[in-house]
């Protein structure tokens, strides 16, 4: 048996309504639970349509321990493909700016062009596009190419 794909992520959040708003209204993820107009009751789920849910948020309350800064064991970030071209990333920069979100970094990884942000609870998210014409399947070493600054 082998892993076929990453199925979903589950994040603990302080305030599920605030976090659901971020993932739905800022990042444009389709919220599937609770349905539109319903008040979140401790959980919210999102799907791009690829599977039943790709992200589940579970509320743990305002007094939950924050993610510690700096080097630590645990998740570093997760990546979300947000389009096909740098124009899609430029559009995301505009959306993020209008929402008051801070872009913490921007990198050219040869195979992807990436922006880095944090959600309301400090979970780091990579928003990326695959670079057209880069064939990492034929040349897997491209995945480990040196990281360069990204200029959009």
Distance CA 38, CA 54 (A): 20
Say what percent of the chain tops pLDDT 70: 99
DSSP letter (8 states) at residue 147: P
**137 pLDDT above the threshold of 80:** yes
1-63 folds as 2,3-Dihydroxybiphenyl 1,2-Dioxygenase; domain 1 (3.10.180)
Q: What does the domain layout of the chain look like in residue ranges?
A: 1-63, 77-152
In terms of C-beta density within 10 A (0-12 exposed, 13-18 middle, 19 or more buried), how is residue 57 classed?
buried
Mean pLDDT calculated for residue range 25-31: 95
Q: What is the pLDDT of residues 78-97, one digit of tens each?
A: 999 999 999 999 999 999 99
Q: What is the pLDDT of residues 32-41, one digit of tens each?
A: 999 867 776 8
Across the chain, mean pLDDT equals: 94
- The answer as to CATH 3.10.180.10 being correct for domain 77-152 is yes
CB 110 within 8 A of CB 131: yes
Fold matches, 1-63 and 77-152: yes
pLDDT at residue 116 tops 80: yes
């Amino acid at each position: 048996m082998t892993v076929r794909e990453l199925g979903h992520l589950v994040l603990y959040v302080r305030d599920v309504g605030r976090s659901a708003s971020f993932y739905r209204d800022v990042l444009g993820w389709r919220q599937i639970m609770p349905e539109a107009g319903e008040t979140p009751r401790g959980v919210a789920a999102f799907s791009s349509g690829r599977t039943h849910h790709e992200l589940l948020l579970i509320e743990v309350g305002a007094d939950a321990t924050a993610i510690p800064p700096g080097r630590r064991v645990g998740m570093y970030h997760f990546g979300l493909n947000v389009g096909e071209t740098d124009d899609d990333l430029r559009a995301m920069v505009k959306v993020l700016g209008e929402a008051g979100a801070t872009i913490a970094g921007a990198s050219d990884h040869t195979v992807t062009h990436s922006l880095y942000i944090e959600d309301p609870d400090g979970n780091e998210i990579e928003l990326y596009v695959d670079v057209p014409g880069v064939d990492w399947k034929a040349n897997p070493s491209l995945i480990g190419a040196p990281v360069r600054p990204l200029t959009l």
